[in-house]
Amino acid sequence: MANPIVNIVVPLAGVAASVIGKKAAAAGWGAVFGEDAPTAKNTKASQKETAKRRKQARKDGASKAEAKEISDPMDETPVWKIALWTLISGVLLQSLRQLAQRGAKKGTEKMISRRPRSNRG
């Protein structure tokens, strides 16, 4: 049976590693490619922006065909970039999370086990 402190620390380390890893991966993607990473959040935002532009075009007097011609920039993302992001966000971040959990478990257990024995006289 594991120590309750270990049971608390290990999941927190996994969550922290996931959050930090996602931010680092997105920042690295921006530095390498000069664009936003194709995350689900960015894809939804792009779809909303495209819908707003189409609606505004209709209000400005454009026909339905002209409004449909307004394309979503995320649709033009090459397949290899999407596959690369999937690989980075899936495999890399999962392995980072597992390493953080293992390290937290070992470190916490080591800290807890260093306590001196109780004096039972």
Hey, is 43 helix, strand or coil?
A: helix
Q: What percent of the chain has pLDDT over 90?
A: 26
- State the Cα–Cα distance between residues 12 and 89, nearest whole angstrom: 19
The string of pLDDT tens digits covering residues 92-117 is 889 999 999 999 999 888 888 766 77
- State the Cα–Cα distance between residues 61 and 66, nearest whole angstrom: 10
